[in-house]
Structure 1
Amino acid sequence: MSELSDEAKLQIVGGFLKESPPGEINDVFNDVRVLLEDEALLENGVTSCFQEYNLEQFATVVPPGQQHQVILSKYGQLDGERFVDPRSGTSFVVDHIRHTASDAQPADSHGSSEPYRQALDTASIAYIEDHYPDGTATVYGGEQLVLAIVDNKYNPNNFWNGRWRSVWITQPGATEVTGSLKVNVHYYEDGNVQLTANKDITFSVTDSGDPQAFAKAVIKQIAKAESDFQVALSEKFAEMSESIFKALRRALPITRSKINWDSIATYKVGSEISSK
């Protein structure tokens, strides 16, 4: 890459970073560090890439002085580095490369929408505990109510990682809720296969003016929508396994003769004996 300009190098590196599979951005970062061979250029040039990646992928941090995680997203971004934690009513600064939070300060409340936000936040905590092994939910208030959900499953020892993301948007007093669900899984044992699936959903609820009842109704519909999406994915995988994937497999080895698997070990032992 020595013949490229610094701008071109950073553009290439940024492309790699922003396309990193779940849980693997640090591995990609270390790989491009070796390729670039310019530590100062890398440190100064990739911060924006990490920020974009963190917001798109719903990265999480623990705010200063808190025990819960907060999702980093455009819905909670106050400026380039400062984000809001609606649950604690504070804001904080994020180091996007190191995934750390600092400089906690009081944040403005969300006015008349705060009772709805708190009710939806409380209902989402119970929902996450029941449905997601390592999930995190953050509810933002204001003119809109936004519920963001993320759960990650990293299994590098078995060469796969995955991420679930969903976001649900409504307004206090409104009856329509719009949602977007995204799943990304990466398998990389002796290959490189990625699954990406997404779906947009809209449903209606009734708001009687009771924030707790409204939150309960919204979460009930979200649970059904996300469960239906997961079931549909499982059914599609089963269908593909019996059709597309099966068609990709060779019915016979290149010799056109079936392998006698029971005799494979014998063949190997015999060849070792004959070679001595």
Structure 2
Amino acid sequence: MPSNSEALASFVESAPPGELSNVTNAIKTIAGDSSLQSLGPALERYNEEQFTTVTLPGSSQPVVVSSYNSLGDGRYFDVESQSSFAFDHNTQKASAVQSYALESKNADLIKSILKSLSTHSNEHYPSSSLGVYPIENDGAIAILLVANKYSPNNFWNGRWRSQYTFSSGQLTGSIHVDVHYYEDGNVRLLTDKPVSASLSSSASASEIVRQIASIERKYQEDLNKAFGSLSEGAFKGLRRQLPITRQKIEWEKISGYRLGQDIGGGRAR
């Protein structure tokens, strides 16, 4: 049976996107302020695994926090801004910014991928942050992209995370989608899609990013098809024959309904 600290840590590590502060506040209310003292490792794992973003003092561009750009002792580096910073995993705030020069045999390729990836993310994601970092043990390169979309006033939050490793012509990684909808209920979508592709060992930054774009476009199309199937099958089976509006749902027009409002009879906004 897990201990209290393990149980609290599991709550932290399973927090939906954009809702970590809600979880920690609930923990403090139930278990007291001192309970957070034991949650440091869980908060660090959460922030690194979720690619938490933070805006550095004096900057307007969010940077990524992950295990790939960790310098240890709570410090991280950012290639684009050529800086390192301290990060508080509890408050999710950055401080003590210093200049940082990337030293890697792949430095030129890393900076080129970062530039090409920025173009890709700006074209396809409304609010995104990215990072490209060396993995010096085997000469590989880590490529990260995270896009957050929060709408707490409408009771939903979502996050797209994709991470890739490029090494010797092989691109491997995974795509994670996490969406939480909590108006008059609690629905959460969690996906984990492993991906891989083969390129030339001397592939350019633009070739690598084109492959990433192709992978992500295909996955988005697959998700759209899956949602269409859910609308016609599983969602229909979950609903009562007559909702509280006492009117039958026209399932062929399901894409025109607003979940939780038209179907559930919720208040209009």
Return the TM-score normalized by structure 1: 0.81
Matches within 5 A, 1:178-217: 178-208=172-202, 214-217=204-207
Q: Aligned pair 1:29/2:24, yes or no?
A: yes
After the TM superposition, which residues 86-101 of structure 1 pair with which residues of structure 2 at under 5 Å, given as runs? 86-101=79-94
Structure 2 residue identity aligned to 1:47? G
- After superposition, the Cα gap between the structure-2 partners of 1:78 and 1:253, relative to the gap in structure 1 and judged at 3 Å, is closer
Q: Which has the larger share of strand?
A: 2
- Amino acid aligned to 1:170: F
CA contact (8 A) 2:55 2:94 kept: yes
User: Could you say what secondary structure the match of 1:138 adopts?
Assistant: strand
Give the AA of the match of 2:118. Answer: I
Moved more, 162-171 or 139-148: 139-148
Deviation of the 1:65 alpha carbon: 4.5
Matched with 1:110 is: 103
User: d(CA) in 2 for partners of 1:238 and 1:31?
Assistant: 36
CA distance in 2, matches of 1:74, 1:20: 19
Task: Please say if residues 63 and 85 of structure 1, whose CA atoms lie closer than 8 Å, have aligned partners that are also in contact.
Answer: no
TM-fit CA distance, 1:67: 3.7
Inter-partner Cα distance in structure 2 for 1:252 and 1:157: 28
CA distance in 1, matches of 2:68, 2:181: 31
Cα deviation, 1:191-226, whole Å, max 9, x if unaligned, reads 111111121111122355xxxx71111111111110
Give the unaligned 5+ runs of structure 2: 249-269
Match of 1:167 among 149, 163, 168: 163
Aligned match of 2:146: 150
SS at match of 1:30: helix
Q: In 2 relative to 1, CA 28–235 (structure 1 residues): closer, same or farther, beyond 3 Å?
A: same
Written as runs of structure 1 = structure 2, the 5 A alignment for 1:24-103 is 24-36=19-31, 38-39=32-33, 41-103=34-96
**Hey, which of these two has a bigger chunk of helix by percent?**
1
Q: Compared with structure 1, are the counterparts of its residues 251 and 147 closer, same or farther at alpha carbon in structure 2 (3 Å cutoff)?
A: same
| SS in structure 1 of the partner of residue 26 of structure 2 | helix
Distance in 2 (CA, whole Å) between partners of 1:55 and 1:32 is 21
Q: Which string of whole-angstrom CA distances, capped at 9 and with x for unpartnered residues, describes residues 39-61 of structure 1?
A: 2x224222222111101111011
Q: Which moved more, 1:96-105 or 1:125-134?
A: 96-105
Distance verdict in 2 for CA 1:30–1:229, change over 3 Å:
same
Task: Report the counterpart of residue 170 of structure 2 in structure 1.
Answer: 176
* Structure 2 counterpart of 1:214, one-letter code: S
Structure of larger gyration radius = 1
**Paired residue type of 2:6:** Q
CA contact (8 A) 1:61 1:70 kept: yes
Q: CA 1:80–1:243 in 2, change beyond 3 Å: closer, same or farther?
A: same
Give, in whole Å, the separation in 1 of the partners of 2:66 and 2:169. Answer: 24
* Count of residue pairs the alignment pairs up: 244
Q: Is the 8 A contact 2:28 2:36 kept in 1?
A: no
Alpha-carbon distance between aligned partners in 1 of 2:45 and 2:131, rounded to the nearest angstrom: 18
Q: Is the 8 A contact 1:64 1:92 kept in 2?
A: no
- CA drift of 1:64 comes to 4.3
Q: Percent identity?
A: 35
Counterparts of 2:59 and 2:241 in 1: how far apart (Å)? Answer: 57
Return 88-97 or 17-26, whichever deviates more: 88-97
CA shift digits 1:73-121 (9 cap, x unpaired): 1111111401111223332111111111122334352332101001001
TM-score (norm 2): 0.83
The 4+ residue runs of structure 1 with deviation greater than 4 A are: 258-261
Change (3 A) 1:110 1:184: same
